[in-house]
Homo-oligomer: A and B are copies of this chain.
Amino acid sequence: MGGAWTKEFADAPDALKCNADHRTVVQAGGVTIGGGEFITMAGPCSVETERQLMETAECVVRAGARVLRGGAYKPRTSPYSFQGLGEEGLKLLALARAATGLAVVTEVMAAADAPRVAEYADILQIGSRSMENYALLEAAARTGRPILLKRGMVATVADLLRSAQCILSYGNSQIILCERGIRTFETATRNTFDVAGIAVLKEATHLPVIADPSHAAGRRSLVPALARTAVAAGADGMIVEVHPHPEQAWSDGDQSLSFAEFETMMADLVPWCELQAQFRRVAEPVA
């Protein structure tokens, strides 16, 4: 159906256009994204301590997550805010991977850090503030690692695809797109979750698309509902913030789920994922 978007994505790169014969399937640390299974990536906003990370990793793997998230390098929205543990954080992520079998995704903030992050992580995340940081896109792409590309707070779907095309042009086609909410006048949620954007991206491109309900909602009580809508919209997975003690988190505590909340959400989500998988098999029958 990608052809239907001709007008809107007139300048969208041919190489990304959806077609019947090809869908990108990303392989990362033993996990397959875009292959039909709904993949959950979960973990703390920031890697804080070994204990915090290990406990979280054990919780999320038990509850069904396949990828561990955790920030080692944090955006310095204020020069006095916590900036992440850096390489020490990367080492803790690798440790948690060894202990649990989870793959690891973590954000790379600076082009110079890309090789080091790629040493430790299975997937390199480009944050929404960096979606148009072209030097960073190049550096991350050239590591050869799969890239999780978050939509900018004010980026259109077409803008997001232009950044994806940049990554592709450096020879890296292992790209996962991520919808995480856009900035609008609405203040009841941190961002406005553009769930239709997920459906548009699935129609327009052959790349896997995941959702970030935590940053979209900005508060934990909404995360499970947004996760269900992501499944219903056809997302290939999601990335969620989980913390042993959300109220004590060094960053983004309001939107982090406790272990119990995460476990409940994951259990509740199973039938939705099954239904979507069944629905997709009918809609896209294998030849």
Q: Which of A62-93 contact B (CB under 8 A)?
A: 75-80
Q: Tell me if A166 and B79 are in contact (CB < 8 A).
A: yes
Q: Is the CB of A199 within 8 A of B187?
A: no
Pick from B11, B13, B76, B203: contact of A134, CB below 8 A: B76
Residues of B within 8 A of A219 (CB): 4
**Contact yes or no, B233 A165, CB < 8 A:** no
A236 CB → nearest B CB, Å: 14
Contact A182 B188 (CB under 8 A): no
Task: Tell me, yes or no, whether A242 is within 8 Å of chain B by CB.
Answer: no
Question: In the bound complex, what is the Cα–Cα distance between A166 and B77 (angstroms)?
Answer: 8
Nearest chain B CB to A43 CB, angstrom units: 22
Verify if A154 is at the interface (C-beta below 8 Å from B).
Answer: yes
Residues 156-200 of A, flagged 1 when their CB comes within 8 A of B and 0 if not, give 111000100110111000000000001111111100111111011
Q: Please encode chain A, from 107 to 134, with 1 for each CB lying within 8 Å of some chain B CB and 0 for all others.
A: 0011111000000000000000110111
Q: List 22 A-B contacts (CB under 8 A).
A: A4-B221, A8-B187, A13-B78, A77-B132, A78-B166, A109-B134, A110-B111, A110-B134, A129-B132, A129-B133, A130-B132, A189-B200, A192-B192, A195-B226, A196-B216, A199-B226, A203-B221, A203-B222, A229-B229, A229-B232, A271-B275, A271-B279
The 3 A-B pairs with the shortest beta carbon distances in the complex, nearest first, are: A154-B154, A110-B135, A79-B169
Given A11-B78, A157-B188, A193-B195, 13 other A-B residues pairs in contact with their CB atoms under 8 A = A4-B219, A8-B188, A9-B188, A13-B78, A78-B162, A80-B169, A109-B134, A154-B154, A184-B192, A192-B192, A232-B232, A232-B272, A268-B279
| A residues at B contact (CB < 8 Å) | 1, 4-5, 8-9, 11, 13, 75-80, 109-113, 129-130, 132-136, 152-154, 156-158, 162, 165-166, 168-170, 182-189, 192-197, 199-200, 203, 216-217, 219, 221-222, 225-226, 228-229, 231-234, 268, 271-272, 275, 279
